Amino acid sequence: MDEKQKQKYLEAQPMWKIVASQFAEHRMAVVGLIVILFFLSISAFAPIISAITGLDPDEQNVFNRYQPAFSTVATSSINRELAVERMLANGKDYTALIDAAIAQNVLEYPTTREDVLYDMATAVAPEVLLDELASFPQVEGLNDFIAVVGGFQKFHLLGTDELGRDVLIRLVYGTRVSITVGLMVAFAAAFIGLIIGSLAGYYGGYLDATLMRLTDALISLPILVVLIVVSAIDLGNIIGGTPLSFIVGSDYESIFKMVFILCLFSWMQVARLVRGSILSIKEQEFIMAAKTLGARDSMIILTHVVPNVIAPLLVAVTLGIGNSILFEAALSFLGLGIQPPTPSWGNMLFNAQEMVQHAPMLAILPGLLILATVISFNFVGDGLQDAIDPKSIRR
């Protein structure tokens, strides 16, 4: 160790620097953090991914359900019609193309002239139609039509689900809901649990009794009953007329209820753990010392108590993430979570549940992503414990 390094060690470092360098030493924690950041960016860029790949998470193809990975299938007739409709609406003149088409085809329901293009697009498989079009006279607009027909083939890297939707892009979009739910619950649990637990543990007495009996009550509340009641509540009666009233009747209504439920039921275990540890810590000498020195309670709790309960707190919070991702999906069984067709890892997993023997991959893929998330968060938690917990900091 040369002089310079020695100097560096002896220098007083700001807290965050110590934390950051300690954290960086925990290799798996860094990997975990990268994975989480990766998921976060995936969810931020989901629409861009969708635009680049040309895949739409809601685009159905019901005659190609449960396709295996790496399959190429033709899009559904309704989407072909819509593609033709978009082409016809682009303002160009397709009279010549329609004339040419009518010359070769008979209209099924002779209604309007454009219908011939729709009928052609939906009648046969795209590759057959492309062959047919190759022998067409070179009229204006033919190339547009060929381009449209060319788009009728879709490649599904991870196969398709129960409605023939692309699994990959649904997993990408599912990241949004699942990661958000995971993070949100983690923060809510840590925040509420820490406050309730430390107040109860530090002050004891009536405050402790009240807060802890409240926690007990929430733990033992029949959650199913609460969920049904919440799903039946007409939000309009509660928040109508307030600034929040825009939520009523919008797509956000059930999400709003979901957030409420998730936060309400997330923190009890953390509160209990924090309180239990504080009971022991507050009797230790350094707290006595701080008290004697005249430190304020808030100061003691924040700087002396909380860092010492960080270990169980982090474990509880990071372990809860996997559960909350699954809980979100369970909520939608009661109409409380996000509504179909919005994908989330949880609801993809649950929807695959009945078909476990038929299409196991539909469940395994979101399951693996949930596993990866749980692992990452837990390693980040371990890293933070090493970094923040005063006892683990190597001096």
Partner 1 sequence: MTSFIIRRLIQTGIVITLLSFFCYLLMTLMPGDPVDLMISANPNITSEDIERLRALYGLDQPVLVRYWNWVSTILSGDLGYSRTYRVPVQELMGPRLINTFILSAAALLVSILIALPLGILAALKKGTRLDYSINMFAFTGISIPSFWLAIVLIIVFAIWIPLFPASGTRTVGVDLSFGELLFDRIRYLVLPVLSLSLMSIGTFVRFTRSAMIEAMANDYIRTARAKGLSWPRIIVIHGFRNALIPLITILALSFSGLFSGAIITETVFSYQGVGSLVYESIISNDFNVAMVAFMISVSMVLIFNLLADILYGVADPRISYS
Partner 2 sequence: MRKIITSIFVFGLIVLTTVPTKSYSNLPTNEELQVGLSQEFENFNPMIMSMLATTWMYNMVGRTLMVLNEDAEWEPQLAKKIPSLENGLAERFTEDGVEKIRAVWEIVDNAKWGDGTDLTCRDFKFAREVALAPTVAITERETYEQVEEIIIDENNPRRCTFKYKEAKWNFNQIPKFYALPEHLERPIFEKYKEQPEGYEQHSLYTTSPTNPGLYNGPYVVTEMTLGSHTIFERNPYFFGGPAKINRIITKVISNTGTLEANLRSGTIDMISVLGMSFDQALAFNQRVQGRNLPYNVNFQPSLVYEHLDLNLDNPFLQDVRVRKALVYAIDRPGLTNALFGGKQPPAYHNLAPLDPWFTNDPKKIVVYPYRRREAARLLDDARWKLRNDGFRYNENGERLELTIMTTAGNQVRELVQVYLQDQWRSIGIRVRIQNEPPRVFFGQTTNRRRFTGVAMYAWVSSPESNPRSSLSCDRIPTEENGWSGQNYPGWCNERVTELLEKLDLEFDEQKRLNIIHEVLYHYTNEVPVIPLYYRSDISVTPINLRGYQLPGHQFSATNHVERWYLEDPKKMENR
Kindly tell me which of 57 and 320 has the beta carbon lying closer to partner 1. Answer: 320
Kindly tell me which of 339 and 392 has the beta carbon lying closer to partner 2. Answer: 339
DSSP assignment of 239-295? HTTSGGGGGTTSTHHHHHHHHHHHHHTTSHHHHHHHHHHHHHHTTSHHHHHHHHTT-
Residue 210 tokens, joined: 């009240």
Question: Is-contact 159 291, C-beta < 8 A?
Answer: no
Does 246 help bind partner 2 (rule: CB under 8 A)?
no
Residue 308 tokens, joined: 């010492």
107 backbone φψ class: left, alpha, beta (φ>0; ψ -120 to 50): beta
Residue closest to 19 by CA, chosen among 278, 283, 389, 287: 389
The distance of Cα 196 from the centroid of its chain, to the nearest Å, equals: 28
Question: Is-contact 376 36, C-beta < 8 A?
Answer: yes
The Cβ of residue 33 has, within 10 Å, a number of other Cβ atoms equal to 19
Does 162 help bind partner 2 (rule: CB under 8 A)?
yes
The distance of Cα 65 from the centroid of its chain, to the nearest Å, equals: 24
Q: With CB under 8 A as the contact rule, which of the stretches 151-159, 201-209, 246-254, 285-293 interacts with partner 2?
A: 246-254
Does 232 help bind partner 2 (rule: CB under 8 A)?
yes
Kindly tell me which of 167 and 273 has the beta carbon lying closer to partner 2. Answer: 167
Tell me the backbone φ, ψ of residue 83, rounded to 5 degrees: -65, -40
Kindly tell me which of 195 and 319 has the beta carbon lying closer to partner 1. Answer: 319
Judged on CB neighbours under 10 Å (0-12, 13-18, 19+), 71 is: middle
Kindly tell me which residue out of 95, 143, 242, 339 binds partner 2, with binding defined by CB under 8 A: 339
Whole-number minimum distance, CB 155 to partner 1, in Å? 29
Kindly tell me which of 9 and 109 has the beta carbon lying closer to partner 2. Answer: 109
C-alpha dihedral sign at 126, 129, 134, 137: negative
Does 163 help bind partner 2 (rule: CB under 8 A)?
yes
What gap in Å lies between CA 237 and CA 251, rounded to an integer?
Answer: 17
The Cβ of residue 6 has, within 10 Å, a number of other Cβ atoms equal to 10
The site for partner 1 (CB under 8 A) is made up of 28, 209, 212-213, 216-217, 219-222, 224-226, 228-229, 232, 269, 272-273, 276-277, 279-280, 283-284, 311-312, 314-316, 319, 322-323, 326, 349, 353, 356-357, 363, 367, 370-371, 374-375, 378, 382, 385, 389, 391-392
Whole-number minimum distance, CB 229 to partner 2, in Å? 9
Whole-number minimum distance, CB 286 to partner 1, in Å? 12
Kindly tell me which residue out of 34, 217, 221, 356 binds partner 2, with binding defined by CB under 8 A: 356
Whole-number minimum distance, CB 353 to partner 2, in Å? 6
| Beta-sheet strands, E only, within the chain | 71-74, 153-156
Q: With CB under 8 A as the contact rule, which of the stretches 19-27, 38-46, 224-232, 310-318 interacts with partner 2?
A: 224-232
324 interacts with, out of partner 1, partner 2, none, CB within 5 to 8 A per kind: none
What gap in Å lies between CA 255 and CA 231, rounded to an integer?
Answer: 11
Kindly tell me which of 144 and 389 has the beta carbon lying closer to partner 1. Answer: 389
Does 63 help bind partner 2 (rule: CB under 8 A)?
yes
Kindly tell me which of 78 and 128 has the beta carbon lying closer to partner 2. Answer: 78
Cis peptide before 341 (omega within 30 of 0): yes
Q: How many residues form the binding site for partner 2 (CB under 8 A)?
A: 37
- What residues line the site for partner 2 (CB under 8 A)? 58, 60, 62-63, 65, 78, 81-82, 109, 111-112, 115, 118, 162-163, 227-228, 231-232, 251, 253-254, 332-336, 339-341, 351, 353-358
